[in-house]
Structure 1
Amino acid sequence: MKTIIFDVDDTLYDQAQSFHDTFKALIDDTYSYDEIDRIYRTSREYSEDLFDQSEKGEISVLDWQTGRISKALFDYGIEIDDKKALAFHERYKEAQANITLFPEVKRLLEQLSQKPVRLAVLTNGEEKHQRMKITQLDLTRWIPNDHIFISGAYGVAKPHPDIFKHVEEAIDARSEACVYVGDSFEKDIIGAKQVGWQAVWMNHRKRQPDTESLYQADKEVKSAEGLADTLLTDYTI
Structure 2
Amino acid sequence: MDTIIFDVDDTLYDQTIPFKKAFRKVIEGPFTEEEIEKVYIASRKYSDVLFEKSQRGELPLLDMHIYRMTAACQEIDLSLSDQKAIEFQEVYLEEQQKITLFDDVEKLLELLLSRNKQMAVLTNGGEDHQRMKIEQLNLAKWIPEDRFFISGSIGHAKPKKQVFQFIEEKLSLDKSKTVYIGDSFENDIIGAKQVGWHAIWMNHRNRHQSDESIQPDKIVSHPKELLDVFSPLNPLL
User: What is the TM-score of this pair, normalised by structure 2?
Assistant: 0.95
Task: Give SS of 2:157's match.
Answer: coil
Which letter maps to 2:145?
Answer: N
Residue-by-residue CA offset, 1:66-108 (whole Å, 9 max, x unaligned): 2211110122222222221111111101100000000000011
Structure 2 residue aligned with 1:123: 123
Structure 2 residue aligned with 1:208: 208
- Asked if 1:231 is matched to 2:230, the reply is yes
Aligned residues: 236
CA distance in 1 between counterparts of 2:225 and 2:86 reads 36
Q: Shift in Å at residue 29 of structure 1?
A: 5.4
C-alpha contact 1:8 1:121 (8 A) present in aligned 2: yes
CA distance in 2 between counterparts of 1:197 and 1:209 reads 18
CA distance in 2 between counterparts of 1:124 and 1:235 reads 30
Which letter maps to 2:223?
Answer: A
Task: Give SS of 1:232's match.
Answer: coil
Task: Give SS of 2:196's match.
Answer: coil
Which letter maps to 2:65?
Answer: Q
C-alpha contact 2:35 2:76 (8 A) present in aligned 1: no
CA distance in 2 between counterparts of 1:91 and 1:235 reads 44
List aligned pairs for 1:38-53, cutoff 5 A: 38-53=38-53
Give unmatched runs, 5+ long, in structure 1. none
Q: Shift in Å at residue 152 of structure 1?
A: 0.4
Which letter maps to 2:197?
Answer: W
Q: Shift in Å at residue 176 of structure 1?
A: 1.5
C-alpha contact 2:229 2:236 (8 A) present in aligned 1: no
Q: 1:216 to 1:225 in 2, by over 3 A?
A: same
Structure 1 residue aligned with 2:134: 134
Structure 2 residue aligned with 1:221: 220
Q: Shift in Å at residue 154 of structure 1?
A: 1.3
Structure 2 residue aligned with 1:168: 168
Give unmatched runs, 5+ long, in structure 2. none
CA RMSD of aligned residues (A): 1.5
Q: Shift in Å at residue 61 of structure 1?
A: 1.9
Structure 1 residue aligned with 2:13: 13
Structure 2 residue aligned with 1:189: 189
Structure 2 residue aligned with 1:81: 81
Q: Shift in Å at residue 132 of structure 1?
A: 0.4
Which letter maps to 2:231?
Answer: L
Which letter maps to 2:162?
Answer: D
C-alpha contact 2:55 2:152 (8 A) present in aligned 1: no
Q: Shift in Å at residue 56 of structure 1?
A: 3.7
CA distance in 2 between counterparts of 1:77 and 1:104 reads 36
Which letter maps to 2:208?
Answer: Q
Residue-by-residue CA offset, 1:95-149 (whole Å, 9 max, x unaligned): 0000000000001101110103110000000110100000000000000000110
